[in-house]
Amino acid sequence: VTNIWIGNQSRIAAHYDFPANLACCLFGQRRFTLFPPEQLENLYVGPLELSPGGQEISMVDFAAPDYEKYPKFAAALKASIVAELDPGDALILPGMWWHHVEAFQSLNVLMTHWWRPEPLIGGRPMDALQLAIMSVRDLPKEQREAWKNQFNYYVFEHDKHNHVHIPEGAQGMLHTPITESAVMNIKRNVINKLKS
Q: Which of 191, 169, 193, 188 is nearest to 179 (CA)?
A: 169
For the chain, give every domain's residue range: 2-115, 125-195
Rg, C-alpha atoms of the chain: 20
Task: Considering the domain delimited by 2-115, tell me its CATH architecture.
Answer: Sandwich (2.60)
Q: What is the pLDDT along the chain (196 residues), one digit of tens a residue?
A: 999 999 999 999 999 999 999 999 999 999 999 999 999 999 999 998 877 777 899 999 999 999 999 999 999 999 999 999 999 999 999 999 999 999 999 999 999 999 987 777 778 888 899 999 999 999 999 999 999 999 999 999 988 887 888 998 899 999 888 888 999 999 999 999 888 7
Who contacts 157 (Cβ-Cβ below 8 Å, separation ≥6)? Answer: none
Q: Supply the pTM of this predicted model.
A: 0.88
